[in-house]
């Protein structure tokens, strides 16, 4: 039974950055192949109604910077189901950073994790089961990060000196 549960598990990686350019670039590079692209305008943020979008993910950067778009979702096939980018304070969140989310249908998150950890503009990275970790500004230091959250698989918080505090709680 345990084997069948792990095959059905959903892993959610979240990462934060003060830079929309960084978060969008990471999603563009990591979520592949792309099967569809959807956007959410800031004017319709409360509806959470994403609309189909044409073109390349990188082409949405000017609208994200200008504040006319507050979120982008890119669907994929295979191990990664989708990638999501949300603006600071998206939908009432207590997070003042841009957040990228990548959902995996299988336990194949580690190669993506390793790539995200290499980016110097990423502040926090975590992998959780099912819905992931509900990040907030109050949790973005090693002392305040929710290391004991039961759904946490792995977490990393960038230290003031630029190094990572990486922890993988025992199951």
User: In the predicted model, is pLDDT for residue 8 greater than 70?
Assistant: no
Q: Please write the tens of the pLDDT for every residue from 90-120.
A: 988 999 999 999 999 888 899 999 999 999 9
User: In the predicted model, is pLDDT for residue 1 greater than 50?
Assistant: no
Three-state DSSP state, 50? coil
Among candidate residues 134, 127, 117, the one with its CA nearest the CA of residue 154:
127
Contacts of 2 (CB under 8 A, 6+ apart): none
User: In the predicted model, is pLDDT for residue 5 greater than 70?
Assistant: no
User: What is the band of 171 on the pLDDT scale with cuts at 50, 70, 90?
Assistant: low
Q: Please write the tens of the pLDDT for every residue from 41-68.
A: 999 998 999 999 988 999 999 999 999 9
Whether this prediction's pTM lies above 0.95 is answered by no
What is the separation of C-alpha 65 from the centre of its chain, rounded to a whole number of angstroms?
18
């Amino acid at each position: 039974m345990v084997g069948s549960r792990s095959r059905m598990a959903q892993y959610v990686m979240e990462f934060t950055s003060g830079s929309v350019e960084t978060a969008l670039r990471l999603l563009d590079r990591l979520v592949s192949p792309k099967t569809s692209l959807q956007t959410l305008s800031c004017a319709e943020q409360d509806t959470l109604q994403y609309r189909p979008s044409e073109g390349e993910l990188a082409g949405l950067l000017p609208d994200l910077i200008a504040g006319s778009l507050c979120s982008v979702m890119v669907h994929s096939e295979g191990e990664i189901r989708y990638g999501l980018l949300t603006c600071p304070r998206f939908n009432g969140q207590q997070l003042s950073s841009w957040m990228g989310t990548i959902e995996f249908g299988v336990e194949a998150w580690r190669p993506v994790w390793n790539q995200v950890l290499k980016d110097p503009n990423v502040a926090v990275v975590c992998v959780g089961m099912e819905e992931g970790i509900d990040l907030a500004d109050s949790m973005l230091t090693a002392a305040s990060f929710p290391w004991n959250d039961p759904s946490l698989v792995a977490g990393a918080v960038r230290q003031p000196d630029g190094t990572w505090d990486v922890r993988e709680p025992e199951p």
